[in-house]
A and B are shown apart, each in its own frame.
Chain A
Protein backbone atom coordinates (compact mmCIF):
# COMPACT_ATOMS: atom_id res chain seq x y z
CA UNK A 1 0.00 0.00 0.00
CA UNK A 2 1.10 3.52 -0.73
CA UNK A 3 1.78 6.00 2.05
CA UNK A 4 2.54 9.71 2.04
CA UNK A 5 4.43 11.36 4.88
CA UNK A 6 4.67 15.05 5.67
CA UNK A 7 6.97 15.43 8.64
CA UNK A 8 6.41 19.15 9.23
CA UNK A 9 3.04 19.78 10.92
CA UNK A 10 3.58 23.55 10.95
CA UNK A 11 5.93 26.01 9.33
CA UNK A 12 6.33 29.76 9.31
CA UNK A 13 7.99 32.08 6.79
CA UNK A 14 8.41 35.80 6.43
CA UNK A 15 6.72 37.52 3.54
CA UNK A 16 8.92 37.59 0.40
CA UNK A 17 11.12 34.78 1.72
CA UNK A 18 11.43 31.25 0.38
CA UNK A 19 10.15 28.15 2.15
CA UNK A 20 10.36 24.44 1.37
CA UNK A 21 7.78 21.89 2.46
CA UNK A 22 8.83 18.25 2.67
CA UNK A 23 7.02 15.17 1.47
CA UNK A 24 8.12 11.57 1.18
CA UNK A 25 6.15 8.63 -0.10
CA UNK A 26 6.38 4.90 -0.28
CA UNK A 27 5.27 2.87 -3.26
CA UNK A 28 6.28 -0.09 -5.36
CA UNK A 29 4.66 1.44 -8.42
CA UNK A 30 6.73 2.88 -11.25
CA UNK A 31 4.08 5.02 -12.90
CA UNK A 32 2.29 7.53 -10.73
CA UNK A 33 1.46 11.18 -10.20
CA UNK A 34 2.34 13.44 -7.32
CA UNK A 35 0.45 16.55 -6.33
CA UNK A 36 0.55 19.44 -3.94
CA UNK A 37 -2.81 20.83 -2.92
CA UNK A 38 -3.42 23.98 -0.90
CA UNK A 39 -6.32 24.39 1.51
CA UNK A 40 -6.73 28.01 2.70
CA UNK A 41 -9.04 28.97 5.57
CA UNK A 42 -11.98 28.82 3.15
CA UNK A 43 -11.26 25.05 3.01
CA UNK A 44 -11.44 24.97 -0.79
CA UNK A 45 -8.83 22.51 -2.02
CA UNK A 46 -6.74 24.12 -4.74
CA UNK A 47 -4.28 22.31 -6.98
CA UNK A 48 -0.87 23.94 -6.66
CA UNK A 49 1.33 21.74 -8.80
CA UNK A 50 1.56 18.21 -10.19
CA UNK A 51 4.36 15.96 -11.33
CA UNK A 52 4.33 12.85 -13.49
CA UNK A 53 6.75 10.28 -12.18
CA UNK A 54 8.10 9.45 -15.63
CA UNK A 55 9.26 13.02 -16.13
CA UNK A 56 12.69 13.81 -14.77
CA UNK A 57 12.21 17.55 -15.10
CA UNK A 58 10.85 19.20 -11.98
CA UNK A 59 7.48 20.89 -12.41
CA UNK A 60 7.16 24.63 -11.88
CA UNK A 61 4.16 26.93 -11.66
CA UNK A 62 5.12 30.57 -11.23
CA UNK A 63 6.43 30.91 -7.65
CA UNK A 64 5.90 27.21 -6.90
CA UNK A 65 8.36 24.51 -7.86
CA UNK A 66 9.07 20.97 -6.77
CA UNK A 67 12.18 18.94 -6.15
CA UNK A 68 11.24 15.45 -7.29
CA UNK A 69 13.73 12.75 -6.33
CA UNK A 70 12.25 9.49 -7.59
CA UNK A 71 14.92 7.18 -6.21
CA UNK A 72 14.65 8.78 -2.79
CA UNK A 73 10.83 8.95 -3.06
CA UNK A 74 10.89 12.57 -2.11
CA UNK A 75 8.68 15.36 -3.45
CA UNK A 76 9.28 18.74 -1.78
CA UNK A 77 7.52 21.99 -2.60
CA UNK A 78 9.39 25.28 -2.76
CA UNK A 79 7.47 28.53 -2.51
CA UNK A 80 9.45 31.56 -3.57
CA UNK A 81 8.62 35.16 -2.70
CA UNK A 82 6.04 34.05 -0.15
CA UNK A 83 2.87 36.08 0.00
CA UNK A 84 0.29 36.47 2.74
CA UNK A 85 -2.20 34.65 0.53
CA UNK A 86 0.00 31.56 0.63
CA UNK A 87 -1.06 31.00 4.23
CA UNK A 88 -2.83 27.65 4.13
CA UNK A 89 -2.64 23.96 4.84
CA UNK A 90 -0.60 22.20 2.18
CA UNK A 91 -1.23 18.55 1.36
CA UNK A 92 1.06 16.29 -0.61
CA UNK A 93 -0.77 13.55 -2.49
CA UNK A 94 0.01 10.41 -4.50
CA UNK A 95 -2.02 8.77 -7.24
CA UNK A 96 -1.25 5.55 -9.02
CA UNK A 97 -1.36 5.77 -12.79
CA UNK A 98 -3.49 3.62 -14.97
CA UNK A 99 -6.61 1.52 -14.51
CA UNK A 100 -9.75 3.40 -13.69
CA UNK A 101 -12.20 4.33 -11.00
CA UNK A 102 -11.04 3.38 -7.57
CA UNK A 103 -7.46 2.80 -8.67
CA UNK A 104 -7.07 6.49 -9.33
CA UNK A 105 -7.75 7.60 -5.80
CA UNK A 106 -5.57 10.19 -4.14
CA UNK A 107 -3.60 9.29 -1.06
CA UNK A 108 -2.96 12.35 1.07
CA UNK A 109 -0.32 13.18 3.59
CA UNK A 110 -1.29 14.68 6.93
CA UNK A 111 -0.59 18.21 5.80
CA UNK A 112 1.69 21.11 6.70
CA UNK A 113 0.17 24.30 8.04
CA UNK A 114 2.11 27.21 6.55
CA UNK A 115 1.85 30.66 8.06
CA UNK A 116 3.28 33.59 6.10
CA UNK A 117 4.18 36.39 8.46
CA UNK A 118 4.07 40.06 7.38
Chain B
Protein backbone atom coordinates (compact mmCIF):
# COMPACT_ATOMS: atom_id res chain seq x y z
CA UNK B 1 0.00 0.00 0.00
CA UNK B 2 0.79 3.74 0.02
CA UNK B 3 2.07 3.94 -3.53
CA UNK B 4 2.57 7.26 -5.26
CA UNK B 5 3.28 7.49 -8.96
CA UNK B 6 4.69 10.33 -10.99
CA UNK B 7 4.56 10.94 -14.71
CA UNK B 8 6.64 11.49 -16.69
CA UNK B 9 9.81 10.15 -15.13
CA UNK B 10 11.95 12.22 -17.43
CA UNK B 11 11.21 15.12 -19.75
CA UNK B 12 13.32 17.26 -22.03
CA UNK B 13 11.82 20.45 -23.38
CA UNK B 14 12.81 23.62 -25.16
CA UNK B 15 13.16 26.90 -23.35
CA UNK B 16 9.88 28.81 -23.29
CA UNK B 17 7.59 25.81 -23.31
CA UNK B 18 5.42 24.56 -20.45
CA UNK B 19 5.72 21.16 -18.85
CA UNK B 20 3.12 19.33 -16.76
CA UNK B 21 4.05 16.73 -14.16
CA UNK B 22 1.41 14.46 -12.64
CA UNK B 23 1.41 12.98 -9.16
CA UNK B 24 -1.06 10.24 -8.26
CA UNK B 25 -1.80 8.37 -5.05
CA UNK B 26 -2.66 4.88 -6.24
CA UNK B 27 -4.17 3.17 -3.24
CA UNK B 28 -5.25 5.91 -0.88
CA UNK B 29 -6.94 9.26 -1.00
CA UNK B 30 -4.62 12.17 -0.42
CA UNK B 31 -6.22 15.44 0.58
CA UNK B 32 -2.74 16.92 0.80
CA UNK B 33 0.16 16.52 -1.58
CA UNK B 34 3.53 18.21 -1.57
CA UNK B 35 5.90 19.25 -4.34
CA UNK B 36 9.65 19.31 -3.82
CA UNK B 37 12.63 20.28 -5.87
CA UNK B 38 16.00 18.62 -5.44
CA UNK B 39 19.31 19.76 -6.88
CA UNK B 40 22.16 17.26 -7.25
CA UNK B 41 23.60 16.09 -3.95
CA UNK B 42 21.29 18.36 -2.00
CA UNK B 43 18.29 17.92 0.22
CA UNK B 44 14.68 18.26 -0.82
CA UNK B 45 13.33 21.78 -0.95
CA UNK B 46 9.59 22.12 -0.42
CA UNK B 47 8.03 24.22 -3.13
CA UNK B 48 4.35 24.09 -2.26
CA UNK B 49 1.60 22.24 -0.47
CA UNK B 50 -1.31 21.16 -2.60
CA UNK B 51 -4.73 20.80 -0.99
CA UNK B 52 -7.60 19.13 -2.78
CA UNK B 53 -10.23 21.60 -3.83
CA UNK B 54 -8.36 24.71 -2.75
CA UNK B 55 -5.43 26.86 -3.75
CA UNK B 56 -1.92 25.63 -3.15
CA UNK B 57 0.25 27.14 -0.46
CA UNK B 58 3.63 28.18 -1.81
CA UNK B 59 6.87 28.44 0.14
CA UNK B 60 8.64 31.74 0.33
CA UNK B 61 10.57 32.50 -2.82
CA UNK B 62 8.62 30.11 -5.05
CA UNK B 63 6.81 31.88 -7.89
CA UNK B 64 3.23 30.69 -7.96
CA UNK B 65 2.72 31.96 -11.51
CA UNK B 66 5.76 30.02 -12.62
CA UNK B 67 4.88 26.77 -10.91
CA UNK B 68 1.16 26.17 -11.26
CA UNK B 69 -0.33 23.52 -9.02
CA UNK B 70 -3.74 21.95 -9.43
CA UNK B 71 -5.14 19.37 -7.02
CA UNK B 72 -8.40 18.55 -8.74
CA UNK B 73 -9.14 15.21 -7.14
CA UNK B 74 -8.25 13.20 -4.06
CA UNK B 75 -5.73 11.16 -6.04
CA UNK B 76 -4.18 13.61 -8.49
CA UNK B 77 -2.09 16.73 -8.23
CA UNK B 78 -0.32 18.39 -11.14
CA UNK B 79 2.64 20.74 -11.30
CA UNK B 80 3.01 22.84 -14.43
CA UNK B 81 6.29 24.61 -15.02
CA UNK B 82 5.32 27.52 -17.24
CA UNK B 83 7.69 29.12 -19.75
CA UNK B 84 10.48 26.85 -18.61
CA UNK B 85 14.07 28.06 -18.69
CA UNK B 86 17.34 26.16 -18.25
CA UNK B 87 17.54 27.18 -14.60
CA UNK B 88 14.31 25.27 -14.00
CA UNK B 89 16.13 22.05 -14.85
CA UNK B 90 16.00 19.92 -11.73
CA UNK B 91 14.56 16.81 -10.12
CA UNK B 92 10.96 17.32 -9.01
CA UNK B 93 9.45 15.00 -6.42
CA UNK B 94 5.91 14.83 -5.15
CA UNK B 95 4.60 13.24 -1.99
CA UNK B 96 1.17 12.44 -0.66
CA UNK B 97 0.12 12.44 2.93
CA UNK B 98 -1.86 9.45 4.10
CA UNK B 99 -4.18 10.82 6.77
CA UNK B 100 -5.01 7.40 8.11
CA UNK B 101 -3.12 6.71 11.30
CA UNK B 102 0.25 8.41 11.42
CA UNK B 103 0.54 11.26 8.97
CA UNK B 104 3.40 9.91 6.93
CA UNK B 105 4.36 11.23 3.54
CA UNK B 106 4.89 8.75 0.74
CA UNK B 107 6.97 9.87 -2.19
CA UNK B 108 6.71 9.48 -5.92
CA UNK B 109 9.72 8.32 -7.94
CA UNK B 110 10.48 11.83 -9.15
CA UNK B 111 10.64 13.58 -12.50
CA UNK B 112 13.86 14.76 -14.05
CA UNK B 113 13.31 17.93 -16.06
CA UNK B 114 15.90 19.18 -18.52
CA UNK B 115 15.23 22.48 -20.24
CA UNK B 116 17.39 23.15 -23.28
Q: Are B109 and A111 touching (Cβ within 8 A)?
A: no
Q: Are B91 and A43 touching (Cβ within 8 A)?
A: yes
Most buried by B among A37, A45, A95: A45
One of A16-24, A73-81, A96-104 contacting the partner: A96-104
Interface contacts (Cβ under 8 Å), in number, total 55
- Tell me what chain A mostly uses at the interface: helix, strand, loop, or mixed: mixed
Which residue of B43, B46, B103 is within 8 Å of A91 (Cβ)?
A: B43
Chain B 41-60 per-residue mask, 1 if CB under 8 angstroms from chain A, else 0: 01110100101000001000
Most buried by B among A91, A95, A97: A95
Q: Are A47 and B49 touching (Cβ within 8 A)?
A: no
Q: For the complex, what is the distance from the CA of A50 to the CA of B109, rounded to whole Å? A: 20
**Closest A-chain residue to B52, C-beta based?**
A101
Is residue B107 contacting chain A, with contact meaning CB distance below 8 A? yes
Most buried by A among B32, B43, B109: B43
Is residue B37 contacting chain A, with contact meaning CB distance below 8 A? no
Q: For the complex, what is the distance from the CA of A52 to the CA of B44, rounded to whole Å? A: 22
- Tell me what chain B mostly uses at the interface: helix, strand, loop, or mixed: strand
Which residue of B44, B49, B106, B109 is within 8 Å of A108 (Cβ)?
A: B44
22 sample A-B contacts, Cβ–Cβ < 8 Å, listed by A number: A33-B104, A43-B109, A44-B107, A45-B95, A45-B107, A46-B107, A47-B104, A47-B106, A91-B43, A91-B44, A95-B105, A100-B31, A100-B32, A101-B51, A102-B49, A102-B57, A104-B32, A104-B97, A105-B49, A106-B34, A109-B43, A111-B43
Q: Which residues of B contact A (CB under 8 A)?
A: 31-32, 34, 38, 42-44, 46, 49, 51, 57, 91, 93, 95, 97, 102-107, 109-110
New A-B contacts (19) at CB < 8 Å, excluding given A45-B44, A105-B34: A33-B102, A37-B107, A42-B109, A44-B110, A47-B104, A47-B106, A50-B102, A50-B104, A52-B102, A91-B43, A102-B49, A104-B103, A106-B34, A106-B46, A108-B43, A108-B44, A110-B42, A110-B43, A111-B42
Q: Which residues of A contact B (CB under 8 A)?
A: 33, 35, 37, 42-47, 50, 52, 91, 95, 97, 100-102, 104-106, 108-111
